[in-house]
Amino acid sequence: MTPEELKSELDLIEQEFQQKRNFAMVKYAASNNPYKAGDIIKDHIGSIQITSIRTYFNREYSSCIYYGPVLKVNGEVRKDRQGKIITRDVYQSNIGKIVK
């Protein structure tokens, strides 16, 4: 085996490891996700209605990021001056409680 072949084989092993690690992290985040699209969640900033869910992970843990329109206190969708719906992300670690 040449040094180039060794490097190539080690790179392949590293790629496979990263793929399996990422899959396990996504699986962990999904298994600890109590919310689904349509739920209303609240964090320290305000409430949103979930329209999509992504996975966030770093070296130590994984969790979900929820995305959706911002809601007013009365439950209506908040819009800007041009009538565009205001949206934002909510990190799972910032959620205070589920409203609906």
pLDDT per position as a tens digit, 5-60:
999 999 999 999 999 998 999 999 989 899 999 999 999 999 999 999 999 887 77
Residue 99: what pLDDT? 59
The whole domain housing 84 covers 3-98
Return d(Cα 14, Cα 2) in angstroms, integer.
18
Spatial CB neighbours of 13, under 8 Å, sequence gap ≥ 6: none
Alpha-carbon 15 to chain mean position: 23
Alpha-carbon 28 to chain mean position: 12
| Domain total in the chain | 1
Q: pLDDT tens digits for 18-30?
A: 999 989 999 999 8
